[in-house]
Amino acid sequence: MENAMILEKQYDELLQLLKDKKYGILHGRLSQMNASDISEFLEEYVPQDGLVLTFRLTQKDKGANAFAYLSSEIQEAIIKGISDREVGDLVNELYTDDAADMIEELPANVVKRVMRNVDSDTRDLINRFLQYPENSAGSIMTAEFVDLKKNMTVAESFARIRKIGEDKETLYTMYVVDGNRKLEGVIEARDLLLSDHSAVIDEIMHTNIISVNTHDDQEKVSELFSRYDLLAIPVVDMEQRLVGIVTVDDIIDVMEQEATEDFELMAAMTPSEKPYLKTGVFTLAKNRVLWLMLLMISATVTGSILLHYEEAFLVVPLLVALMPMLTDTGGNAGCQSSTLIIRGMAVGEIYPRDILLVLWKELRVSLLCGLALAAINFARVLVVYPGEVQVAFVVSIALVATVIMAKVVGCVLPIAAKVCKLDPAIMAAPLITTLVDAGALLLYFEIARIILKI
């Protein structure tokens, strides 16, 4: 990506300015940059002892934005290096959700110092945010939005936006609340921009409001964004009072995070909190080894099935040679179905009530796939092992049966998990493979026993 290379060159120049102590020029260059690029520069280029200095050289508001993107280690280093007053200014400038995220990761003594130096309002807000459950709407919302009253005119609304808008997360959706902060309506900047200046908010606001509760899961929030093409959604408490908003940029992060979690679960790993390159070797090993162990021990079942049919494969060793093809194909076929169903449920296209539809579809698909594979396989076995017609017959029949069984298991298990309120993503390739292996071998040797009469 050419973009990445231009940025790298730019970071190297900035670093040189820092080393040469050309702080004036560095300050000027930083003020031209995006907050997320500044954050990357701080995170990956600036040495530990230059962090505080570089951070001080960025403008206050942009510095706070860049700070929000930093990893908790670098955040901690900066917090420890700046003065009490700077800590207060910085945290007051942060959006509440970013401040709460930071505080969750800081050691207790640093948290105390932070809390001592912020406004009492900010402190209360942060404390409230810290109480929302992880991955709830409350934990990803911000408290910085523009509220209007329904008797205001458009002109008065513009004046209010101009007055309080500076440090709000969005100026594109405004929220109309009554005296008790109950949400009465929503109005978009678009409506204000296109309406007459004398129009009253009450007449132009939308009352058909899409909102979420502080305790709703972030996955529900992101489904609503994607379904209704929202830029922001209001978050209300149990009494329908407006307490915050979630904006689309946070939802993009949520969507990426949820998809990554599903990818990890589906590959039999405990999802990790940090990016791969920043996760330690022990954490990576821990996230993987338990699942591997569980699956390894379940494979004991397959082992005993095989020993049970020892006689069959001692008589016809070719049966063993064809075994991996059969179990792998079964695993692959099952994994195709489970992936489609898991993903379909994750994006809200398939619901548990569709189970009969799905089963009927998978049965027909598996019959088509199974027959095609069996035909090719029959020919292949005869070419590679000439004369082994009976074995070719056995393995081809077993193949059809295995593909059908695998696809049924692959579509039923994720739906069953969903019904049991488990994450369907755990019913993915690794578990399906283990189950299908056992089933495939049972089918295979039973068919062999009947046809080959062993």
Q: Considering only residues 14 through 73, tell me which ones interact with its own copies, judged by CB under 8 A.
A: 32-34, 36
Question: Radius of gyration over alpha carbons of the chain, in Å?
Answer: 30
With residue 232 as reference, give the H or E element that holds it.
strand 232-236
Q: 218-242 in b/e burial notation, b at 16+ Cβ within 10 A?
A: beebbbbbeeeebbbbbbbeeeeeb
Q: Of 85, 109, 276, 387, which lies in the binding site for its own copies, with binding defined by CB under 8 A?
A: 276
Burial class for 427, CB neighbours closer than 10 Å (0-12, 13-18, 19+): buried
- Tell me phi and psi for residue 198, to 5 degrees: -90, -5
Q: Does 382 bind its own copies (CB under 8 A)?
A: no
In the complex, what is the shortest distance from the CB of residue 123 to its own copies, in angstroms, rounded to a whole number?
A: 27
Q: Does 323 bind its own copies (CB under 8 A)?
A: yes
Contact with its own copies (CB under 8 A) among 89, 105, 354, 423 = 354
| Cβ-based nearer residue to its own copies, 63 or 344 | 344
Strand-pairing partners, residue 246, are: 233
Rule CB under 8 A: say whether 365 interacts with its own copies.
yes
Write the DSSP string, 360-400: HHHHHHHHHHHHHHHHHHHHHHHHHSTT-HHHHHHHHHHHH
Q: Is 327 in the site for its own copies (CB under 8 A)?
A: yes
The widest CA-to-CA distance across the chain, in whole angstroms, is: 93
Indicate whether 238 belongs to the interface with its own copies (CB under 8 A).
no
Please compute, for residue 275, the number of CA atoms within 13 A of its CA located in the half-sphere on the CB side: 7
Minimum gap (Å) between residue 320 Cβ and its own copies:
6
- Given the complex with its own copies, which of 22 and 162 has the nearer CB atom? 162
- The C-alpha atoms of residue 453 and residue 446 are separated, in whole angstroms, by 10
Residue 265 corresponds to which tokens in the numbers above? 């679960």
Closest contact distance (angstroms) between CB of 111 and its own copies is 27
Q: Which of residues 300-319 bind its own copies (CB under 8 A)?
A: 300, 302-304, 306-307, 310, 313-314, 317-318
Which C-beta is closer to its own copies: that of 114 or that of 435?
435
Stretch that binds its own copies, among 102-110, 118-126, 252-260, 445-453 (CB under 8 A): 252-260
State in angstroms the smallest separation of the CB of 112 from its own copies: 31
Residue (79 or 443) nearer to its own copies, CB:
443
Residue type, 380: R
Taking CB under 8 A as the binding criterion, the range among 56-64, 102-110, 353-361, 442-450 that sits at the site for its own copies is 353-361
* Residue 186 makes contact with its own copies by CB under 8 A: no
Please tell me whether residue 252 binds its own copies under the rule CB under 8 A. yes
Tokens of 318: 């070719």
Residue 438 burial (CB < 10 Å; 0-12/13-18/19+)? buried
The answer to the question of residue 296 lying near its own copies (CB under 8 A) is yes
User: Cβ neighbours of residue 313 under 8 Å, at least 6 residues apart?
Assistant: 306, 319, 320
Pick the piece of the chain touching its own copies (CB under 8 A) from 49-57, 73-81, 104-112, 321-329: 321-329
Other Cβ atoms less than 10 A from the Cβ of 359: the count is: 15
- Decide: is 260 part of the binding site for its own copies (CB under 8 A): yes
Residue from 25, 155, 384, 450 in contact with its own copies (CB under 8 A) = 384
Within residues 405-444, the interface with its own copies by CB under 8 A covers 429-430, 433-434, 437, 441
Can you read off the two tokens belonging to residue 109? 């003594």
Q: Which of 25, 155, 193, 422 binds its own copies (CB under 8 A)?
A: 193
User: Cβ of residue 255: shortest distance to its own copies, in angstroms?
Assistant: 6
Answer yes or no whether residue 139 interacts with its own copies by CB under 8 A: no
Q: Answer yes or no: are the C-beta atoms of 366 and 294 closer than 8 Å.
A: no
Distance in Å, CB of 113 to its own copies, minimum: 29
Residue 131 CB neighbour total at 10 angstroms: 10
